[in-house]
Amino acid sequence: MFLDRWLKPRPAKAAGAKLYASAVAQARSPAFYRDFGVRDSMEGRFELFSLHVIFLIERLKGQGDAAAETSQAVFDSYVKGLDDAFREIGVADTAVGKKMKKLAGAFYGRLKTYDEAVASLPDEAATRDFLARTAFEERGEGDVAALTTYLIKTRGSLADQPLDALLQGDVTWPNP
């Protein structure tokens, strides 16, 4: 917005941007690509960026108005990051909107499927299936079990972190 230059952003907006930046940094960890076998491609990175944003949205869900506002700010930062990435690689302005609409649909589909998969925990079958289809693009390659373990560990780690810290944009990710 025009006034954002002069006005300090709302705390939730700043926290959401900080959480998103942290999620991106974590998703870029070489271990996911080198050790787990996720492809280091636009698709592979999209899946890991999306997964880490989903972790944050899940943790903030149902935690009150400030958490809902921060969660929305994380998602807004995610969308802006995707938009910026398309523009950086030279996608025409007229095509960015179409691509963003497609990716938004993909994200919401993943969010729904993720929710269904983790609802069945501690049975890991649905979670492994979700990760095999998304992060590993149904290639039959990669260490789905290791990424499933990471997903479970990350959910636990985020659940143990104080909500107040998250609302300040502070998050600690476990090692992949």
Model confidence band, residue 126 (pLDDT cutoffs 50, 70, 90)? very high
Q: Is the residue at 171 inside a domain?
A: no
Q: Is the residue at 15 inside a domain?
A: yes
Q: Is the residue at 6 inside a domain?
A: no
Q: Is the residue at 172 inside a domain?
A: no
Q: Is the residue at 175 inside a domain?
A: no
Residue 101: Cβ within 10 Å count:
10
d(CA 165, CA 152): 21
35 or 104, which is more confident?
35
Q: Is the residue at 176 inside a domain?
A: no
Model confidence band, residue 105 (pLDDT cutoffs 50, 70, 90)? confident
Displacement of CA 96 from its chain's centroid (Å): 20
Q: Is the residue at 78 inside a domain?
A: yes
For 38-96, the pLDDT digits (tens) are 999 888 988 999 999 999 999 999 999 999 999 999 999 988 887 767 666 666 666 65
Mean pLDDT rounded to a whole number for the chain:
87
Number of independent structural domains in the chain = 1
Q: Tell me the angle at which helices 93-119 and 125-133 cross, rounded to the nearest 10 degrees.
A: 160
Q: Is the residue at 62 inside a domain?
A: yes
